[in-house]
Amino acid sequence: MTQVWIVRHGQTDWNLQGKLQGWTDIPLNANGVREAHALGFTLQGIPIHSLYSSDLVRAYATATILGTYLNLPVLVDTRLREVSFGAAEGTLHIDEQLLSLHCLETDAEVLQRALDFLAFIHSQHAENRVLCVSHGRWIRTLVKFFSKNEHPVISNTSVTSLISENETWRITNFLS
């Protein structure tokens, strides 16, 4: 049984302002740093085999803080990267139909990237628990797929837990 715990990065100023971040490299704000430390403290002592992160600074900084509590190095994987919102990045959240005109990736492409990552984790870390730090839309895409269209709110430093048994993934827990 392989477990993957997916954490959304800590808060950024653009999260507070309601701006789309996508691939724009926005750092954590002070509250985001506090959130990462609080989660790290909570996870301390839980056996986690490996720690992966998106290459974007807000996720990597969150992962680095978590790694200090877990005594793990951060392994970067670009498949954990947020959806590219293209020209819509830096704007206030807009409706999904309009957003789809600006996105440089389709939901199907993001889902494939996420499923490729899970297949890699399953092949490299079978029978282990792996922690990954990613982004809101990336996580929502997976949750929507595995829960048959649920649209949860993915809060900063929330944890979504997936388990693979017989190469079939399912959501086992969602902490927003």
What pLDDT is stored for residue 167 in this prediction? 74
> Which pLDDT does position 98 carry in this prediction?
61
- Integer-rounded Cα radius of gyration of the chain: 15
Looking at CATH, the fold of the domain delimited by 2-128+136-161+171-175 is given as Rossmann fold (3.40.50)
**Quick one: which H or E segment has residue 13?**
helix 13-17
Q: Give the pLDDT score at 59.
A: 98
pLDDT value of residue 175: 65
Contact 157, 62 (CB under 8 A): yes
> Per the structure block, which two tokens stand in for 121?
């984790």
Q: Which residues are catalytic?
A: 9, 82
| pLDDT digits 0-9 by tens, 127-174 | 999 999 999 999 999 999 998 767 778 999 999 999 998 778 998 876
Predicted confidence (pLDDT) per residue in 9-64, tens digit? 999 999 999 998 999 999 999 999 999 999 999 999 999 999 999 999 999 999 99
Segment 110-131 mean pLDDT: 95
> What does the pLDDT look like over 71-108, one tens digit per residue?
999 999 999 999 988 888 888 876 665 666 667 788 89
Distance CA 38, CA 143 (A): 24
User: Do the beta carbons of residue 23 and residue 46 sit within 8 Å?
Assistant: no
Q: Is 80 left (phi over 0), alpha (psi -120 to 50) or beta?
A: alpha
pLDDT value of residue 105: 83
The string of DSSP letters for 102-122 reads H-SS-HHHHHHHHHHHHHHHH
**Whether the Cβ atoms of residue 106 and residue 157 lie closer than 8 Å to each other:** no
pLDDT at position 152: 76
d(CA 37, CA 29): 13
Domain ranges of the chain: 2-128+136-161+171-175
Predicted local distance difference test score (pLDDT) of residue 102:
67
Look at residue 97 in the predicted model and tell me its pLDDT: 58
